[in-house]
Amino acid sequence: MTTEIFLLPAILDRRLRVSPDGPVMIKNNYFTDNSDIQSHFNDMIPWTEIVGSYEGGFRDARTYRENKDEKLASAPGSVEEALDYYRTILESAGDLAGNEISPYVAALDREGLRIEKGLVKFPQKMIELVKTVRDAGLQPYGFSRKYGGLGLPWVVKGILSEIFYRVDGSMAIAIGCVNLAEILEHIASEEMKDEWLPRLTAGEFVCAMGLTEPDFGSDLPNIRTRAEKKSDGSWTLNGTKRFITHGCGFGEIPALILTLARSGSPGSGARGLSFFLVNSSDVQIAGIEHKLGLHCSPTCEIVLENSPGVLVGQEGLGLIRYTMGMLNGARLGIAFQSVGLASEAFYEAQKYASERIQFGRPISGIGAVKKMLRRMESEIAAMRCLIMEGCRAMDLYSWRPEHLKAAGGNEKDIKNDTIIRYWEKLANILTPLCKYYCAEMCLKITSDALQIHGGSGYTEDYDIARLYRDARIVTIYDGTSQIQVGAAIGGIVSGMSPTGNLREYIDCEIDKLSEKSSASELFSVFDRTVAAYRDMSSEKKEEFAEEAVIAAARMISTLLLFRSGDRIRASDREARKSLAQTYFLDSLGICEGNLVRMSRLSAP
């Protein structure tokens, strides 16, 4: 006889559901089990356009045929080959995340990090799991093939990072942080790229972003870390950086810290800042933060004391060009983190709601719960449409300069290229919009998912508590939501002028829809919202920029959701259009309400 029979049935029931090691995540292939990602991959992404833009006439495949450079061996020679390649990568990432990593993340979250004699100690299992991903060749997904990377366009990198973020934020960051150094491909000299990029893709370094200081977070133009040039032309850095993720490296692997420091005079503002490479072995780790969530992600305070730094690119362009360049990608990264977290929270809520019986039936059948689940599903679908479009915009301009150069073009040709100009401008609006909107909605969705779990959601018996804690950061780091609003609003207002690019883009996309009336109705509200905003005093503008940004995000997401309904295969069309309609009605209500408030409050 075991002791189990003496337990009350309710306790026994709970013990059957909750493993002694803590909650058990949904185990599955996180690429193939996500029907929305599958629809994007199989039906909705315009692959000919994306692959064409990334591969530029399949240059790498041609070069491989000529010189058999092994680094280019995986280069696709056609759109079909590219899709097979992407699918293989995503299936393998989905399997690793959903089947290999998912069973361990709850225990890792409980174990957390320790600091011993100035060194950050990671759980051994975490180090093993990240190594498994590295050994599978999936880690350097942000780099191009010639430097040892996977050679993926933004849309594929995005799905890949979403898959890892769905399983766990700390793991996804440990796996993906090296890819921050992708920016070096665009801004570093050829010698620097040849020296550093192969070492990064080979796993000799991880990467960290050293921007924030104790007194300067959002206010980056005023940071104080000093960079001094010595007589032999080398640089040393002095100062303190706070909140630097993986500033300590990862286990035995050091970090290359992309560090922003003042090379100009004190008070020189944004134009006095330059960008440096600093080896984490040359800085001191003063401590790590004890945080609400992301318990296995080291958030380090680092002290630079005559630490050697290598100047990247030109002096004075550190913030205004290079950090901003890095942030477009980083913003999309957090948007994917948000969608990954929100998706898992939704799946967990859906599972719980189908199993939890109240009033004699599963709570999934109760109207109020059903409504929450339905809204979560439509919001996630909208978020994913929005970020895939953000990635598309990035894909349509960021690879083109290199292809133009390879075809004999010069700087002037690149500057005047109409395709680059159009999509870059749009990407500069879409990326802060994606970050803002997906992060904010992620908070709402993880909160609703916890609500559906009732009291159990507030315990550590289910994964939702970890997801909820981890989600809280997404509106804060890599630029807070308020900073994203500031980054997006100028482009929205100028883009909505009579000849603006945003107006042209929306007009053109609505025109292609099979059913235009709903999107047109919302467009009219959005147009009036921007007009109301434009007419406000500068004081009121600061207050109401967010409402205009919400309207832009909801407008674009609505039309993309309707567009997805036209592109999806026939068997899924009706369900998709109904989801789009749910989202449209929610958006119309929110935007109309905001417009009324804006009009009344701004009236003289």
Ligand X SMILES: Cc1cc2nc3c(=O)[nH]c(=O)nc-3n(C[C@H](O)[C@H](O)[C@H](O)COP(=O)(O)OP(=O)(O)OC[C@H]3O[C@@H](n4cnc5c(N)ncnc54)[C@H](O)[C@@H]3O)c2cc1C
Where along the sequence are the contacts to ligand X (CB under 6 A)?
Answer: 208-212, 217-218, 243-245, 291, 294, 299, 473, 476-480, 482-483, 486
**In angstroms, what is the minimal distance from the CB of 69 to ligand X?**
34
Smallest separation (angstroms) from ligand X to the CB of 302: 10
Taking the complex as a whole, how short is the minimal distance between the CB of residue 243 and ligand X, in angstroms?
A: 3
Give the nearer residue to ligand X in terms of CB position, either 52 or 479.
479
Least Cα distance to 346 among 390, 387, 378 occurs for: 378
Closest separation in Å from C-beta 244 to ligand X = 5
Both tokens of residue 17? 């559901």
Residue (341 or 559) nearer to ligand X, CB: 341
Backbone angles phi, psi at 533, to 5 degrees: -65, -45
Shorter beta-carbon distance to ligand X: residue 75 or 488: 488
Nearer to ligand X, 294 or 387 (CB): 294
- Smaller CB distance to ligand X: residue 379 or 478? 478
Regarding beta strands 235-245 and 299-312, do their DSSP bridges make them parallel or antiparallel, or are they unpaired? antiparallel
CA dihedral 390, 392, 397, 401 (to 10 degrees): 130
On the 0-12 / 13-18 / 19+ scale of CB atoms within 10 A, 585 is middle
HSE of 349 in the Cβ direction (CA atoms, 13 Å)?
Answer: 27
Question: Rounded to the nearest 10 degrees, how much is the dihedral formed by the CA atoms of 89, 394, 337, 156?
Answer: -10
Q: In this complex, which beta carbon is closest to ligand X, that of residue 177 or of residue 393?
A: 177
Please give the Cα distance from 450 to 457 (Å, whole number). 5
Distances (CA, A) of 413 to 70, 179, 407: 32, 29, 11
As a whole number of angstroms, the distance between CA 293 and CA 105 comes to: 13
Residue 83 Cβ, how far from ligand X at the closest point, in Å? 34
Cβ-based nearer residue to ligand X, 295 or 576: 295
Task: Specify the length of the chain in residues.
Answer: 604
Least distance in Å: CB of 206 to ligand X?
11
- Which residue sits closest to ligand X, CB atoms considered? 217
Distance CA 333, CA 340 (A): 10
Tokens 């913030």, residue located? 319
Which CB atom, from 130 or from 248, has the smaller least distance to ligand X?
Answer: 248
Structure tokens at 83: 């899709």
Tell the smallest beta-carbon distance from residue 173 to ligand X (Å).
9
CA–CA gap between residue 41 and residue 167 (Å, rounded):
20
Task: Give the nearest distance from C-beta 127 to ligand X in angstroms.
Answer: 20
